[in-house]
Structure 1
Amino acid sequence: MAKQRMLQFVSVEKQMPEKRAADARAHDFKEIYGEFADAKATEQASRCSQCGVPYCQSHCPLHNNIPDWLRLTTEGRLQEAYELSQLTNTFPEICGRICPQDRLCEGNCVIEQSGHGTVTIGAVEKYITDTAWEEGWVQPIRPAVERAKSVGIIGAGPGGLAAADRLRRAGVQVTVYDRYDRAGGLLTYGIPGFKLEKEVVLRRNKQLEDGGVKFVLNCNVGDDISFAEIREKHDAVLIATGVYKSRDLQGPGSGAKGIVRAIDYLTASNRQNFGDSVPEYDSGELNAEGRKVVVIGGGDTAMDCVRTAIRQGAASVKCLYRRDRANMPGSQREVQNAEEEGVVFEWLTAPQGFAGDPVNGVMVQRMRLGAPDASGRQSPEVIEGADYVEEADLVIKALGFEPEDLPALWGEEALEVTRWGTVKANFRTHETAMPGVYAVGDIVRGASLVVWAIRDGREAADAMLDAFDATSTGVAAE
């Protein structure tokens, strides 16, 4: 019976949740996709072919049991679908919203490859977990046994929070230290609300806090507390700081007023949407309203910036990227959404300098694609004599992020880093060369996806639990 409900891709077309019209959504920071109704979620889940080798699952960093929870959704067993989803993913409702499914699970769906259009995995995943919250199926964290072991986690982003959740459920005493005043890292302050409404993140933060995770916020490690002190307080330490140092632009005029970092711009926007006092936003320094905005970069952060600028009421928004559309690293869905909202993409262009101070233009070089580089992508080459000036009075640098120099910041020369500045850690256990110190997420991988940070955090938590079990059976709290 269950089998007959599946394999409907031959008669049911792919359909995404309804997307709000561009002219309506471009004026607010609410999520742009609606929610599947129960019947529509069931219908779309039924398109799954239940293939013998599920490439969607193998190409998911968390190896989510996608075919199984799609089948359960089709059978109306939604609570079981949620419980199965939660087994492998700490934050499925977040991944359902922000994962680049077109590059991961959906992009490798067998029926997508055969020309029938992928199963809308992310939208169903979001629907399952949102329903679970509404129905009260998401259970509070209540460890069966409390352990005396303690872990300090530096960084309240997805990697740190995923580890905190897993450790706390096992009864470990967990304290999370973070530089910001709200937990969530880039989930809270980097990703705009039109992709991830903040209540979704705050709800998980509250679940962790209610479950016994202690948060020490507004805490800069190295200033407010030393790394050595954190090690002294805990049986193990997890470094999950992410990467926040922005790659910079060189060239004449690169220090002009009006040229800002993407992380500063997005953080100011998110804070303003929280209702915080943001002087840099109020002054116009980090506010695109009425301005000619140029964003430099082609990744997901650049897409977040251009779409934020539209919502702030920019006079115009252009994105410069040195390769073509097919070779850009950002999600193609995000590019399409941005174009619908009025963003203009200038492909095969690169800045060579800036005019004015405050800035009034970007000096642009036209590019063409040449021979492939070491990664297999075609390298951009300058077209001589094709330079021009792009008018701009706000330039946002979205060229990616690099790690901060943690050994120097924390006074810990024993913390080994790679030549790129990322922390060296075992790729399975995530333990560093310092005993009892682990590291996960972007600070190890370099700037990467939220889903990889979640996987790392879960794996590191399991490795810590194994280490604790090897030395002690744990002590129940009084």
Structure 2
Amino acid sequence: MAERMLQFVRLDQRQPEKRAAETRRADFGEIYKEFEPQAATAQASRCSQCGVPFCQVHCPLNNNIPDWLKLTAEGRLEEAYEVASATNTFPEICGRICPQDRLCEGNCVIEKGFGSVTIGSVEKYITDTAWERGWVKPPKPRRELAQSVGIVGAGPAGLAAAERLRVRGYQVHVYDRYDRVGGLMIYGIPNFKLEKDVVLRRWKQYEEGGIHFHLNTAVGQDVSLAELRARHDSVLIGTGVYKAREMSAPGIGLDGIVPALDYLTAANRVGLGEAVPAFASGALDATGKHVVVIGGGDTAMDCVRTAVRQGATSVTCLYRRDKANMPGSMREVYNAEEEGVRFEWLGAPEAFRGEGHVKGVIAHRMHLGLPDATGRQQVTPMPDSRFELPADLVIMALGFDPEDLPTAFGEKDLPVTRWGTLKVDHRTMMTALPGVFAAGDIVRGASLVVWAIRDGRDAAEQMDLYMQQKASPLAVAAE
């Protein structure tokens, strides 16, 4: 092993080549070039193969990272893909959009002093190679089962559960209110992080595997939850959270102040070749405008970097804490800075100026105080610190809350928590409605794609157990 691995002592950390900022500002293509095979093999060989792999411990999917790094270093790529895909339904997506600097790479034991192994880039290289060489197969079962499953939501949680249940032989039906499969992976994440073909090819593959998709189908309008429960042996709700958080401030109702998801969805739909009236009118187009994005998470970074590519005159991110306390990926912050985004740290909005249409954001400076119960430093406004930012378009990236699903689904007995997320038994992932499970953001709140995948896979395990127990002779006799 020593000849192949532990090469961090002689090899420096190297990411795939990144396109120059001036070049990538002009298009929506992914910013990293493909890893050359020799470079990917060399970077994989830097793994220390430590006894306690903290990269794996801090991965929500507990991916067997040291194992597939070793296989990659040895040139055994097909085996590396088999190991990677055994725990991860979408390794090609996680390799692109996971905040590795906060998860696996951020906890790599050689990070201090040598620089972490480039885990995400190697994962992307392995799975892109697998797709090119035809190693990725549709989820076809060894035997078909009579039981059927209904899954509400074609995002990462729903798709992960659909794949696991289809492999077990269930008849899987996925219902989604949108016209494409992928949820926020299609409509929320920009192409420069995740090109849409990467997601859409999974849709085609899953259809080949026998998963049935019912698109443009809104539960509560086109079909009721009660109908789905009668139609299927179990149901999974994996709708995600889409309701934008709001703030109260003078001028908040001015034209030109828009939710982040509306802005990103319009940009992604235009990129998919659709006509989007709100974009065509200029309402959701940043071209030639002074843009201010309020927020500090990954969604805010997606917005500022999209505005740059649309040709905004200026792009400013207004965040009430400092750079060290950004909740999003620091790698995304660096990419935004390279592309010309200006950051106003320790600034919070207090009002919006304009007559009919927004013309400026009035803000004040904040002071970081002592940590609160969560460990984050509290912020308080500083006296006499008001300043103004010119703004023709203000994008509110303050996070997302759940929609009122009991009302939307017409199911008053569907319980929710005080935060509006669905209440489940966390051992079984089942709601108070027998046979109705829930997973992903609609349970844990707005989170990462990788956590949604984990939740979807876990829910599939519990649904399988529930249906097998229900179909057992003992259960039938008891009924």
Task: Give the C-alpha shift of residue 341 in structure 1.
Answer: 0.3
| Length, aligned pairs only | 472
C-alpha distance in structure 2 between counterparts of 1:454 and 1:428, whole Å: 17
Corresponding residue for residue 37 of structure 2? 38
Q: Deviations over 1:241-296 (max 9, x none)?
A: 00000001211000100000000000000000000010111110000000000000
Corresponding residue for residue 13 of structure 1? 12
**1:315-326 alignment to 2 at 5 Å?**
315-326=313-324
Corresponding residue for residue 194 of structure 1? 192
C-alpha distance in structure 1 between counterparts of 2:198 and 2:123, whole Å: 14
Q: Scaled by the length of structure 1, what TM-score is found?
A: 0.98
Kept after mapping to 2: 8 A contact 1:188/1:198: yes
Alignment RMSD (CA, Å): 1.0
Kept after mapping to 2: 8 A contact 1:318/1:346: yes
Corresponding residue for residue 105 of structure 1? 104
Corresponding residue for residue 365 of structure 1? 364
Between the two proteins, what is the percent identity of the paired residues?
67
Kept after mapping to 2: 8 A contact 1:417/1:424: yes
Q: Deviations over 1:349-394 (max 9, x none)?
A: 0000100120000010111101211211111110111101111010
Corresponding residue for residue 4 of structure 1? 3
**1:236-275 alignment to 2 at 5 Å?**
236-275=234-273
- Note the residue ranges of structure 2 that are not aligned, 5 or more in a row: 474-479
- Note the residue ranges of structure 1 that are not aligned, 5 or more in a row: none
Corresponding residue for residue 468 of structure 2? 469
Kept after mapping to 1: 8 A contact 2:320/2:346: yes
AA partner of residue 4 (structure 1): E
C-alpha distance in structure 1 between counterparts of 2:463 and 2:392, whole Å: 50
Task: Give the C-alpha shift of residue 200 in structure 1.
Answer: 0.2
Please, which of 166, 170, 173 is the counterpart of residue 171 of structure 2?
Answer: 173
C-alpha distance in structure 2 between counterparts of 1:445 and 1:209, whole Å: 28
**1:264-413 alignment to 2 at 5 Å?**
264-356=262-354, 357-413=356-412
Kept after mapping to 2: 8 A contact 1:319/1:345: yes
1:26 aligns with 2:32: no
Kept after mapping to 2: 8 A contact 1:428/1:459: no
C-alpha distance in structure 1 between counterparts of 2:110 and 2:373, whole Å: 32
Kept after mapping to 1: 8 A contact 2:234/2:467: no
Task: Give the C-alpha shift of residue 441 in structure 1.
Answer: 0.5
Paired residue secondary structure (1:360): strand
Corresponding residue for residue 142 of structure 1? 140
C-alpha distance in structure 2 between counterparts of 1:13 and 1:184, whole Å: 36
Greater displacement, 368-377 / 150-159? 368-377
Kept after mapping to 2: 8 A contact 1:152/1:236: yes
AA partner of residue 27 (structure 1): A
C-alpha distance in structure 2 between counterparts of 1:219 and 1:22, whole Å: 41
Kept after mapping to 2: 8 A contact 1:365/1:387: yes
Task: Give the C-alpha shift of residue 122 in structure 1.
Answer: 0.3
Task: Give the C-alpha shift of residue 9 in structure 1.
Answer: 0.3
Kept after mapping to 2: 8 A contact 1:159/1:440: yes
C-alpha distance in structure 1 between counterparts of 2:97 and 2:179, whole Å: 23
Q: Scaled by the length of structure 2, what TM-score is found?
A: 0.97
Kept after mapping to 2: 8 A contact 1:365/1:386: yes
AA partner of residue 233 (structure 2): D
Corresponding residue for residue 232 of structure 2? 234
Q: Deviations over 1:25-84 (max 9, x none)?
A: 011111001111110110000000000000000100000000000000001100000000
Q: Deviations over 1:123-161 (max 9, x none)?
A: 000000000000111122221101111111110000000
Greater displacement, 363-372 / 76-85? 363-372
Kept after mapping to 2: 8 A contact 1:295/1:320: yes
AA partner of residue 116 (structure 1): F
Kept after mapping to 1: 8 A contact 2:296/2:326: yes
Corresponding residue for residue 477 of structure 2? none
Q: Deviations over 1:382-417 (max 9, x none)?
A: 011110111101000000000011111112121111
Task: Give the C-alpha shift of residue 429 in structure 1.
Answer: 2.5
C-alpha distance in structure 2 between counterparts of 1:409 and 1:218, whole Å: 16
Task: Give the C-alpha shift of residue 473 in structure 1.
Answer: 6.4
C-alpha distance in structure 1 between counterparts of 2:285 and 2:358, whole Å: 15
Deviant stretches of 4+, over 4 Å: none
AA partner of residue 344 (structure 1): R
Paired residue secondary structure (2:3): helix
Paired residue secondary structure (1:175): strand
C-alpha distance in structure 2 between counterparts of 1:181 and 1:31, whole Å: 24
C-alpha distance in structure 1 between counterparts of 2:247 and 2:463, whole Å: 40
AA partner of residue 50 (structure 1): Q
Paired residue secondary structure (1:104): coil
AA partner of residue 181 (structure 1): D
**1:106-145 alignment to 2 at 5 Å?**
106-113=105-112, 115-145=113-143
Greater displacement, 429-438 / 297-306? 429-438
Kept after mapping to 2: 8 A contact 1:177/1:217: yes
C-alpha distance in structure 1 between counterparts of 2:292 and 2:143, whole Å: 55
C-alpha distance in structure 2 between counterparts of 1:424 and 1:61, whole Å: 21
Paired residue secondary structure (1:384): strand
Paired residue secondary structure (1:4): coil
Kept after mapping to 2: 8 A contact 1:268/1:280: yes
Please, which of 213, 222, 225 is the counterpart of residue 224 of structure 1?
Answer: 222
Task: Give the C-alpha shift of residue 320 in structure 1.
Answer: 0.3
Paired residue secondary structure (1:434): coil
C-alpha distance in structure 2 between counterparts of 1:290 and 1:299, whole Å: 24
C-alpha distance in structure 2 between counterparts of 1:8 and 1:46, whole Å: 6
C-alpha distance in structure 2 between counterparts of 1:372 and 1:9, whole Å: 36
